[in-house]
Amino acid sequence: KILYFSDRELNKLNFFLKSIDPFKKFQPLPGEAYIVFNDKNDYLRIKENLQRQLGEDLVRDLGFLPYTGLKVKGSEEKLAGLGLGFSEEDIELVRNISFQVILRLKNFPQINKEDIEFKFKESDKAGKISGIIFEGETVLGYPSKENLIHTAELLKIKEYPFGIIEFAGQKGIETVAHQASELAVRIHSITKEEMEIISKQIATERWIRAAKERKVRIFYIKPFMKSSLNLIEENLSYIRTIKEELEANGFKTGRASILSAPYQEPKIFILLLILGVISGGLILLKNVFNLKKYQEYSLLFLGILFSLILFFLNQEIFLIKLMALLAALIFPTLAIINNERYFLGNIDSKLKDIQDLSKNNPSFIQMIKEVLSGFFRIILITLSGALLIAALLSNNKFMLGIEQFSGIKISYLAPLLLVLAIMWLKVNKGKLMILENIKKPILVEHVIIMVFF
């Protein structure tokens, strides 16, 4: 249907072409490519796409082949990377064999709003589609933020779901996703390099895990390119296995689903959650520094004021991330410090209690009750922090991975360091008594709490 010749290739054919009447006076020029079409619709589609991307000066008709031939100025590498629209015939073929149609829109450097609208107008010709996945390293409209927002607006107008490819890091995807998060669909793919070394079983497990654990709804499956048996049959078997495993885990194959009711917390709800985090921080500070009432109220006021300022500056996502991180630091620390008597009580009296356990069995039972009571208090306080984090991160931007919780590694280590620092201050009261404390025995209740915690 379409023939492509570089200037070198056409020169090699020149001996034969000279005998054909239209080519008698034609001389190929260096740096030009020549495209010959069998179908006028293909000619019109590709010509408009090339002129938008390269400019009209670089894309001209071959005068002796009207509506049939084009000459294009540019290197083969550059031309090979251009998007040329969608063949209606190919789309119809895909649809007729019961496949869902997902279009890939390709960006180019000098794109403007008119070009973006043209791309979407082309997509309309495909009829009802399942979604769009942006092709290449950049999203349609990049690098202009205004163009990216325009892309998101057109996605919303046409109600096209669009894919966010995990770990691909497409430039501009975050801007589009923020503007049209209700249409975002997570996509998982295994790279060509990984496909060369990965086994069929491990690849299948990876697909299922992506669907179960990360709410991935589209699989971009690349085939195995090496096989000792029939390559096509092996890849068909691979896809069938993935489908069977999905169904065994309660999933259905078909058109990718988006969030039926995208959830966005009301701002008052977010403020109440933030108030909970601030309150936890104040309780911890009061426990450590014995704050006075006016100091507590002052810090509470400053925390609320800081949150409101970030809201008005349209920094809601940053504020949510910050508060989630603070909750992850504050509540585990508070859980231990609020039950410090199980760690920092009167050592001498506890030693005496342990020595008398055989004589005074009820005290041992009472000690176990107190240890379990302290353990459950620790769990409940920590759990309240976890619930605050879950509530703060419950909107669809975080659920779809458009935004992610920051500071996971810090939240693992920092509470332990905070607990150690606060306990050292409480035990030593500012004096250096580390060696003396090291000599103190570890009590049974300490061991029980450490094991469970």
CA pair distance 325, 411, nearest whole angstrom:
7
Token pair for 225: 């390119």
Percent with pLDDT over 70 in the chain: 81
* String of DSSP letters for 401-436: TSS----HHHHHHHHHHHHHHHHHHHHHTTS--HHH
Structure tokens at 243: 């489908």
Lowest mean pLDDT among 132-146, 220-234, 388-402: 388-402
Give the pLDDT of residue 446: 58
Q: Name the phi and psi angles at 383, rounded to 5.
A: -65, -35
R_g (Cα) of the chain, nearest Å = 33
Are residues 35 and 3 in contact, defined by beta-carbon separation less than 8 angstroms?
Answer: yes
Each residue of 358-413: pLDDT tens digit? 445 556 677 777 778 878 888 999 999 999 999 998 877 777 777 778 777 888 88
Reply yes or no on whether the pLDDT at 451 is more than 80: no
Q: How would residue 200 be classed by pLDDT, with cut points 50, 70 and 90? A: very high
Written as six digits, the tokens of 20 are 């054909």
d(CA 129, CA 399): 24
Burial class (CB in 10 A: 0-12, 13-18, 19+), 372: middle
pLDDT tens digits for 156-186? 999 899 999 888 888 999 899 888 888 999 8
342 confidence band (pLDDT: 50, 70, 90): low
Domains of the chain: 2-80 (3.30.1240), 88-248 (3.20.20.370), 267-452 (no CATH)
Express each pLDDT in 255-270 by its tens digit: 877 765 555 667 888 9
| pLDDT tens digits, one per residue of 291-338 | 888 988 999 999 999 999 998 898 888 999 999 999 999 999 999 888
In b/e form, how buried is each residue of 74-85, taking b as 16+ CB within 10 angstroms? Answer: beeeebeebbbb
Q: Which residue has the tokens 């209700």?
A: 182
- DSSP readout, 43-86? HHHHHHHHHHHH-GGGEEE-TTSTTTEEEEES-HHHHHT-----
Question: What is the rounded average pLDDT for all residues in the chain?
Answer: 82
Measure CA 114 to chain center.
Answer: 29
State yes or no: pLDDT of 234 exceeds 70. yes
